[in-house]
Chain A
Amino acid sequence: MIIRKLENWPFEGLRGEFSEFDQIQRYLGRLFSDRSQANGRETPAGVYPLLNVSHDSENVYVRSEISGMTLDQLDVSVTGRSLTVSGERAIPDEDSNVRYHRKEREAGKIRRQLTLPTDVDHERVQAKYQHGILMVVLPKAEKSKPKKIAISE
């Protein structure tokens, strides 16, 4: 913080009424850019659960790390090009006489909506929850699949 304050010295007082605002803006900008660099994340959405989306010529794959859920707590739905993952993660209460030393795991609601990169075949969408990973496989609609075009001489 001290370094940041000294950066503009000795001009700090000379820059008029906007200087403070500018500084805040720049500080915030730096704060967020530092954050995303530290994570190595390209698009921090800031909404839980985090998603990894990939595709090949046939399907779109959506993966999410949500451990400790049961199937009835998870809800996946597709409307148009929009995929919604929602649910509630519950951490069952332990016996009342236990003493907690650490409590880092969180319980609560999760909800995430995602716009898919292509049209998908709604009828054939499959979702699987295994080892705490939710994986949704969305077959691409026929018209969105890449077509090989024969080149004639």
Chain B
Amino acid sequence: MTTQTQDIQVRDKREVKSDAEQTIPGRVFSPNVDIFEDDQALTIVADMPGVPPENVSIDLRNDVLSLSGVPSVSVTEKEEHVLHEFATGKYFRQFTLSEVIDQEHIDAKLNNGVLRVTLPKVGPAKPRKIEITEG
């Protein structure tokens, strides 16, 4: 693949613009995602650097999947910034799912700041033949 050897270009973190105001101060960013599916499952892979596993929440209700993550703060108060190129804040992104998902078997893994959510599809309903009896 040619993309493997290219240099990664700087992309600004996209800040979430929401109608609803945040109750907690701080900035909220939209994580970059890859979304793909096969016959069995829909998979979402999201970049959330700085977020430990215990700070990730995944919520699915009414076909809306919400992913959010809060990075752990490692900057101490004594530190003085010399160069500040990236801002840190919460991650939040929502998706409306068009497939019926098997909610019991949703699987999520977080590895080095990359969240991978696997949403298994509910298998197609088997056609049920209904016998008609004379009566």
Contact = CB atoms under 8 A, between A and B. Distances in A.
A105 B47 contact: yes
- In this complex, the member of B5, B80, B84 whose beta carbon has the largest number of chain A beta carbons within 10 angstroms is B84
A76 interface: no
Contact of B74 (A40, A63, A67, A108): A63
Nearest to A133: B50
A4 interface: no
A115 B10 CA distance: 20
Contacts of B39: 97
Nearest to A45: B85
Contacts of B36: 94, 98-101
A48 B9 contact: yes
A68 B114 contact: yes
Contacts of B78: 56-57
Given A131-B50, A132-B113, A52 B72 contact: no
Q: How large is the interface on A (under 10, 10 to 19, 20 to 34, 35 or more residues)?
A: 35 or more
A133 B36 CA distance: 26
Nearest to A68: B114
Given A41-B85, A53-B82, A100-B35, A111 B50 contact: no
B86 A67 contact: no
A106 B8 contact: yes
B127 to A, nearest CB: 25
Given A66-B49, A67-B112, A108-B3, A54 B81 contact: yes
A89 interface: yes
- In this complex, the member of B38, B48, B49, B81 whose beta carbon has the largest number of chain A beta carbons within 10 angstroms is B49
Contacts of A97: 38-39
A131 B52 CA distance: 6
Contacts of B7: 48, 108-111
Contacts of A68: 47, 111-114
Contacts of A117: 82
A110 B36 CA distance: 25
Given A100-B35, A109-B5, A52 B74 contact: no
Interface of A: 38-57, 60-61, 63, 65-70, 88-91, 94-95, 97-111, 114, 117, 129, 131-133, 135
